[in-house]
Amino acid sequence: MKILKYKKFTGLHIVCKKCNKLIEVSQASYKGCGHPIERQKYKAIIKLNGIRKTRDLKALEYDDAVAELLEFKNQLSTPFKFVTPSPKAEVKHELLKECIMMYSDWLENVDVPKHLQIIRSNGYVKSTVRYVLNFTDFLQANSINLNKFKIYDLDDVIVGKYYEYLEPLCKSTSTYNHNTKALKNFNSFLIDKKGYLIPNFFKDVNLKYENANPISVNDDDFIKLLDAISDVDTVHIFKTGERKNMYRPYTRDAIELVAFTGMRIEESMILKYSDIVLGSDGKIEHLIGTDLKFDRAHNWNNTKEPKKVLIPCTKELENLLIRLNYKENLGADKYLIAGDEKIKRKTIAVQLSDSFTFYRNKAQISNKFTLKHLRKTFLTKLHIKTGFVESMGYQKSGKVTMTNYIDKVEVVREVNRQGFGYFG
């Protein structure tokens, strides 16, 4: 694969704007990016005071890219020393592929004024752009030349044909809806943010109804899974031939922490000994968790206090904390799980999810639940045994909790166990 000229220079990279992969070394090293050179851009990635700043460079020649990188670096180091030139006329891109690249830049806040910026995760940006690019893949598969296809060429016939193609391709309702939402937002961006005089052809595409049907993990299956966790026979061989050790010394403790706190996986992994609160009797009263999902959506600029969740201390959680030597570490700014290891919390969360699936299969459990289902299990049990689930703050509203997290089948079983009857 032909790529832009590259020599190692601090902060300079080449990125494929079709799949968002760095490709400056070789095609094989970056998971098989095979997109043409026209999709590539020089990109500046600079860390300043612990903050990562990026910019897609306009240069297509190596020397020009280096000069543009150094100019960008200088602007960052002297943010208040700038010249205000006369406003330049914004280029009105017409090709669909150029509009998509412009949308990708906007999602990453490239050249977006500070007060208009919205912090989005890399995962969100990549997945959103990928969903939009699925549409261009369809066009190419139908012999449409993207080097000539303009945004003004879009019409209802093409959109209709795309959804005839997309519907049987999507294995789940959520995948179909994600593709649709991305295209709706892309079309709205061109109209509302960039002033394109085009119809919003995707506006009238209906999202499919997603019927939430939460399931919880059976007690016997959970115990069976925990019993299967050991450091014996722990290598998983992937379809690619890659071999990976699925065991870590903290695997069981981490899985139990997710189960007994009811927090999301990453939220459980950021719990610290300093989050443990003792009551007046010296016993553990609760733990203070952080609702990361809520904060990322509603407090992305960190102008508010993080949303806290008070985690009740059950007997199981207390036993786990005793095993983790909480008394010796009480008040320490140290993670409960893998506190002595230099590893990102997101990395542990992904690793733990893979290990959970590995040991579930090793235990020969037929139910294909995942680590995420432990949160649904906890909230279902909390609802059944206390009735306080809506007031505990695990979700932004009681409706979300009741719709998406409570296993209705388990509720019915509990009603039967309690011997409910019309006449008592």
301: left (phi over 0), alpha (psi -120 to 50) or beta: alpha
322: exposed, middle or buried (Cβ count in 10 Å: 0-12, 13-18, 19+): exposed
What is the full DSSP assignment across 174-237?
HHHHHHHHHHHHHHHIIIIIT------TTTTPPPPP---------HHHHHHHHHH-SSSS-EEE
CA 155 to chain centre: 32
Radius of gyration of the chain (CA): 26
Q: Return the closest-CA partner of residue 179 out of 208, 148, 221.
A: 208
Angstrom distance (rounded) from CA 362 to CA 374: 18
* Cα–Cα distance list, 112 to 118, 154, 196, 408 (Å): 9, 27, 18, 46
Q: Return the closest-CA partner of residue 221 out of 268, 265, 259, 269.
A: 259
Angstrom distance (rounded) from CA 337 to CA 341: 9
pLDDT in tens, the chain (424 residues): 677 887 888 888 888 877 777 787 655 555 567 777 777 888 888 887 777 888 888 888 888 888 998 888 888 877 655 555 555 556 678 999 999 999 999 999 988 888 888 878 788 899 999 999 999 999 999 999 999 999 999 999 999 999 999 989 888 888 999 999 999 999 999 999 999 999 988 988 998 887 666 788 989 999 999 999 999 999 998 888 889 999 999 999 999 999 999 999 999 999 999 999 998 889 898 999 998 887 777 766 667 788 888 888 889 999 999 999 999 999 999 999 999 888 999 899 999 999 999 999 999 998 889 999 999 898 888 888 887 777 676 766 666 676 776 766 676 677 677 775 556 5
Angstrom distance (rounded) from CA 31 to CA 289: 36
In the numeric block, the tokens 């200088």 are attached to 74
| Architecture in CATH of 219-370 | Orthogonal Bundle (1.10)
Angstrom distance (rounded) from CA 281 to CA 213: 41
CATH 1.10.443 maps onto the chain at 219-370
Contacts of residue 357, defined as CB under 8 A and 6 or more positions apart, other chains included, come to: 370, 371
Residue positions counted in the chain: 424
Total Cβ atoms within 10 A of residue 399: 10
Contacts of residue 279, defined as CB under 8 A and 6 or more positions apart, other chains included, come to: 285
* Cα–Cα distance list, 390 to 150, 216, 398 (Å): 50, 18, 5
Contacts of residue 217, defined as CB under 8 A and 6 or more positions apart, other chains included, come to: 367, 369, 373, 374, 377
SS3 53: strand
pLDDT value of residue 18: 75
pLDDT value of residue 30: 56
Question: Which tokens go with 231?
Answer: 């450091």
Total Cβ atoms within 10 A of residue 337: 23
Angstrom distance (rounded) from CA 285 to CA 276: 8
SS3 245: strand
pLDDT value of residue 80: 56
- Computed from CA positions of residues 8, 11, 12, 14, in that sequence, does the dihedral angle turn out positive or negative? positive
Determine the topology of domain 93-211 in CATH.
Answer: DNA polymerase; domain 1 (1.10.150)
CATH 1.10.150 maps onto the chain at 93-211
- Computed from CA positions of residues 181, 182, 183, 189, in that sequence, does the dihedral angle turn out positive or negative? positive
For residue 13, report the phi and psi dihedrals to the nearest 5 degrees. -140, 165
